[in-house]
């Protein structure tokens, strides 16, 4: 079995997961999607879905086995992650077999918190929970997230 990585990482969170996959899969990784049996497709979460920059590459996945992974600034619940991953999956072309999925929280840039703090001055009920979520996201993906990612790759039969 050969695997390729196709991912987009805006802040480095999804890249951390991709690097971990590369370490775990080692010689199974090939550079070209066309030469792989399985594609690990990763994205940061953009408005609840895949990074639009990946859209033009999705046709390359037709007929492939795909493992979906990603990070999102919001989260903390598997139900939320599942909804995001469902949106990722809905963007895939027909004939793709999703063999596994993983999503975890990712740390957001400091400017996001600053914006939330300013908005909380006007609407604390709405923005205080967002500040709390921002603070929970710091340091993610962390070691536990990377272990959970490894377990998901293993469950999918990739490692």
Q: Could you read off the pLDDT of 1-23 as tens digits, one per residue?
A: 999 999 999 999 999 999 999 99
CB 74 within 8 Å of CB 133: yes
pLDDT at residue 90, as a whole number: 96
**36-to-42, 56, 65, 97, 104 alpha-carbon distances in Å:** 16, 18, 9, 14, 25
Is the bond into 141 cis (omega within 30 degrees of 0)?
A: yes
> Is the pLDDT at 95 greater than 80, yes or no?
yes
Terminus-to-terminus CA distance in the chain, angstroms? 11
- Mean of pLDDT over the chain: 96
The predicted model gives 119-134 an average pLDDT of: 96
Quote the pTM value. Answer: 0.94
Identify the DSSP state of 37.
S
DSSP secondary structure, 71-115, as one string: EESS-SSHHHHHHHHHHHHHTSPTT-EEEEEEEEE----HHHHHH
The predicted model gives 126-147 an average pLDDT of: 96
pLDDT at residue 75, as a whole number: 77
């Amino acid at each position: 079995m050969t695997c390729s990585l196709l991912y987009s990482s805006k802040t480095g969170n999804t890249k951390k997961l991709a690097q971990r996959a590369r370490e775990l899969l080692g010689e199974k990784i090939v550079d070209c999607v066309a030469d792989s049996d399985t594609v690990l497709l990763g994205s940061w979460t953009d408005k609840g879905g895949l990074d639009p920059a990946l859209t033009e590459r999705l046709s390359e996945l037709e007929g492939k086995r795909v493992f979906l992974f990603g990070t999102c600034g919001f989260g903390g619940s598997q139900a939320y992650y599942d909804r995001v991953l469902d949106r990722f999956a809905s963007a895939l072309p027909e004939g793709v077999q999703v063999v596994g999925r993983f999503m975890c929280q990712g740390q957001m840039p400091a400017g996001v918190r600053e914006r939330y703090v300013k908005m909380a001055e006007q609407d604390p009920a709405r923005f205080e929970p967002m500040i709390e979520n921002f603070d929970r996201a710091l340091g993610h993906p962390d070691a536990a997230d990377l272990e959970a990612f490894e377990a998901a790759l293993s469950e999918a039969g990739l490692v």
